[in-house]
A and B are shown apart, each in its own frame.
Chain A
Amino acid sequence: MEKNFNVNVEHVTRVEGHGNIVLNVEEGKVEKVQWQISEAPRFFEAMLRGRPYHELRAITSRICGICSIGHSLASLKATEDALDIDISEQSQIFRRLAINAENMQSHILHVGYLAVPDLFGFGSVFPLVGSKNQDTLLKIVELHRLSNEMSDLICGRTTHPIRLVVGGFSMFPTQKELTNIKEKLKKGLEKTEQVAEVIKKVAGNFPDFQRETEYIGLSSDEEYALYDGDIASTDTGKHIQYKDYKSIMQEYVVPHSTAKHAKHSRDSYMVGALARFNLNSSQLHPIAKEVANMFSLKPICYNPFMNNIAQLVEFVHNIEDSIKKIDELLSEGIYNEKPEEAEIKQGRGVGIVEVPRGILVHDYTLDKQGKCTKANCIIPTNQNHANIQKDMEKLVPKIINKPKEEIELNLEMLVRAYDPCISCSTHYLDVEFR
């Protein structure tokens, strides 16, 4: 083991966006360990200036390619909150299906393409082609395809969804199309269980690392909360005043990063699948619970690497939930409703949803012509940066005696486990336009 060495991973691979890991060790002592965000700021907040309320969704969707549905839904909820619009029951269900689809798509992409290769010791998913695990890879691909087909059907297009509009949907799928996708979801459930078996065999390659921290996410009495709920914390319980989210999600600027960090009752907290699991695991559907048991995942789990497994569990839950919701829709019939009309007025609205990576907040203020004058967003990955930093600070001393490549790999795996969406996280700051 060298007494002096540096680990400098510029632009960590297999994560969305650009981040660097810097580690300086001198005389066997950790001098510096930093998680740096170098993503180019795109000044999104400036772009919303003066835009009419019905364009906000399209613009904010472009913050992120993977969670564009999530941003769209948070944006729409905020706009509808500001204009006092109540969407129909049917739209409520379809929006939940949309969020399920996005969660599924993102989780299977992350677990399958981005995280699992580390478990097999590969640099990417491509070497699995032609290997004895090619079959598993193909199943993962099929599940990814299924998730995309579902969100294409509900939203018109997976990336930058077209059908999601203020007041509801511009178009709904037909009975036939929904029945079709339901059959595919049922088959997908079987495939997922098979994939889980394979991952179980290599899941031991995740480091056994624990660090107590706070977990924050949405929570609801009615269901495992993704689309709607109250902000909840494993430390302080439910917080009903959603417009006062800033008292929980306290952001602050950090010099070595173009993205902000956040804290609440401790120095940092975590959001995402693991946080949601820790808060709401009792509300998971049955097969999802079984999968959790398979991996001995129980609340409260303090191992950030298990976020990957929590994602797998949520994936299963989302399929089960979608099948249930589609049955509900089919029994009532689909109506070709038009979106609810908006009466344009001044107001402030806050929309909070759970996207694959954690809790997302959009906060808009509109003037009396319905144009945006003030916008704020809290991005899930922003809220995780501090936690990642703290995890690194605790992990490094434990692995300091390992070879440099292994330290590098472990730090990268740690970052990947959080499934960061760095592009999103650098674009939203508190801003006021006049």
Chain B
Amino acid sequence: MKPRVAFFDFSSCEGCQLQIANLEEEILDLINLVDVVSFREVMKEHSEKYDIAIIEGSIMRPMDVERLKKIRKNAKILIALGACATIGGINKIRNQWPPHNVKREVYGDIDLEGNPYFDAFQTKAVDEVVKVDYYIHGCPINRDEFKRIITSIVLGKNPEIPTYPVCVECKKNENICLFELGKFCLGPITRAGCNAICPTNGSPCEGCRGILKKPQIECVMEILKRYELTYDEMKSRCKMYNYAKEEC
């Protein structure tokens, strides 16, 4: 029996689900492989019976937490799709400020107390609320990686995602290192799997697939010195996708 797959979205731009639509002709292969029972963006039908739940988006409000927990209970396997779900992504930028501060900035002094739609807490990634079985990183996801992970799950194989940095893929593509061009790239500490798409297109890596390991401070200072970059620039870059309370 084909595994039943349901897609769910929370706070996101839906760009990751769009990548699945962008599989083009291969969507037919996908629906041969699995039974898509719920995919709000492209189909009307919906079912509460599914084996695999794919979640896009971050969790922002108590009502989202409830919805997510229900999904986790229904599903045997839960996959976090895209940076918003896997690491919080861009949505976490606002965690630099407390929620009430952010709400006031946006909506002014309107009393939104008790309105569940606006009851936002600090942005959370999906695994800060429920257990995630597999991660598909990226902003947006890489379609080839999506295919690989889905086929691995169906084959009963543990889909290993890279634990090495983007530099490996960048070098295999024979790109000129962006540091040599005076830019600050997060590639050396960001998880690979995207085939270094941003550096290959001339743009420094923003770390959307998650930071692997914080480098030691001696290393950071050495690099900043060698390439004449500023500490502020580096901090600003780190804060885009990987904002965490500790200093980068």
Contacts and interface: CB of A to CB of B under 8 A. Distances in A.
Indicate whether A and B are direct neighbours in the complex (CB within 8 Å).
yes
B198 interface: yes
Interface stretch (A122-130, A322-330, A344-352): A122-130
Nearest to A114: B42
A45 B105 contact: yes
B202 A163 contact: yes
B173 interface: no
B15 interface: yes
A64 interface: yes
A165 B198 CA distance: 12
Contacts of B97: 46
A391 to B, nearest CB: 21
A65 B140 contact: yes
Interface string A131-161: 0000000100110110010000000111110
Contact of B11 (A14, A40, A59, A158): A40
Interface residues of A, number: 56
Contact of B203 (A66, A114, A165): A165
Interface in B8-51: 10-19, 21-22, 24-25, 27-28, 31, 36, 39-46
A17 B10 CA distance: 10
A15 B11 CA distance: 15
Most B C-beta atoms less than 10 A away, residue of A59, A62, A165: A62
A173 to B, nearest CB: 11
A43 interface: yes
A364 B42 CA distance: 34
Contacts of B201: 156-157, 162-163, 170-171
A59 B140 contact: no
Say whether chain A's binding surface is mostly helix, strand, loop, or mixed. Answer: loop
A423 B140 contact: no
Given A40-B10, A145-B24, A423-B14, A13 B43 contact: yes
A404 interface: no
B197 A157 contact: yes
Nearest to A339: B202
Interface stretch (A50-58, A76-84, A180-188, A236-244): A50-58
Contact of A62 (B105, B110, B117, B139): B139
A334 interface: no
Contacts of B40: 11, 13-14
A237 B48 CA distance: 51
Contact of A159 (B15, B28, B45, B117): B15
Most A C-beta atoms less than 10 A away, residue of B24, B28, B102, B107: B24
B44 A47 contact: no
B28 to A, nearest CB: 6
Interface in B26-81: 27-28, 31, 36, 39-46, 60-61, 64
A372 interface: no
Interface string B77-110: 0000000000001110110010000110111001
B105 A431 contact: yes
B187 to A, nearest CB: 13
Contacts of B102: 43, 46
B248 interface: no
A11 B44 CA distance: 10
Contact of B15 (A41, A66, A141, A171): A66
B24 A148 contact: yes
B60 A40 contact: yes
Contact of A423 (B13, B39, B44, B106): B13
Contacts of A65: 12-18, 140
Nearest to B90: A62
B120 interface: yes
Interface in A1-47: 11, 13-17, 38, 40-43, 45-47
A65 B21 CA distance: 12
A-B pairs with lowest CB-CB distance, top 5? A65-B15, A124-B43, A170-B202, A156-B201, A123-B44
8 contacts: A13-B43, A13-B44, A65-B12, A142-B25, A160-B15, A423-B14, A429-B106, A433-B105
Interface of B: 10-19, 21-22, 24-25, 27-28, 31, 36, 39-46, 60-61, 64, 89-91, 93-94, 97, 102-103, 105-107, 110, 117-118, 120, 139-140, 197-198, 200-203, 206, 236, 240
Interface of A: 11, 13-17, 38, 40-43, 45-47, 49, 51-52, 55, 58-59, 62-66, 68, 109, 113-114, 123-126, 129, 138, 141-142, 144-145, 148, 156-160, 162-163, 165, 170-171, 253, 258, 423, 429, 431, 433
